[in-house]
Amino acid sequence: EVQLVESGGGLVQPGGSLRLSCAASGFTFSSYSMNWVRQAPGKGLEWVSYISSSRSPIYYADSVKGRFTISRDNAKNSLYLQMSSLRVDDTAVYYCARDPVVGEFDYWGQGTLVTVSS
């Protein structure tokens, strides 16, 4: 069974940093591209970042480019999102999601909540 489990969310002050993790199991993690998608409270879905199975290429949404860094460790079956210079409007549930190489997200984690507030 495919499982994606996010962790690392929490409360952080504006300008602060946070690192999210996503532990994958039930599939060959190293064969799949992965993404982060977020959802602000009561709002819709917003794609954040993409990383290919081989770590390159990497893409970011304009709203996070230069502040967020996606990475992965295929030996540990893990995906990461390093977030810095956090802003109040980064407050959201962050999901990791698998892309089966055809442009959609076929499996999602349960999400981890990031709250940016003073």
Partner 1 sequence: EIVLTQSPGTLSLSPGERATLSCRASQSVSSGYLAWYQQKPGQAPRLLIYGASSRATGIPDRFSGSGSGTDFTLTISRLEPEDFAVYYCQQYGGSPPRYTFGQGTKLEIK
Contact residues toward partner 1 (CB under 8 A) are 35, 37, 44-47, 50, 57, 59, 61, 95, 102-111
Q: Is 38 helix (H, G, I), strand (E, B) or coil?
A: strand
Minimum separation from the CB atom of position 56 to partner 1 (A) = 13
Closest to partner 1 by CB, 78 vs 105, is 105
H-helix or E-strand spanning residue 22: strand 18-25
42: alpha, beta or left? (left if phi > 0; alpha if psi -120 to 50): left
CA distance 9 to 93: 8
Closest to partner 1 by CB, 32 vs 107, is 107
Closest to partner 1 by CB, 75 vs 102, is 102
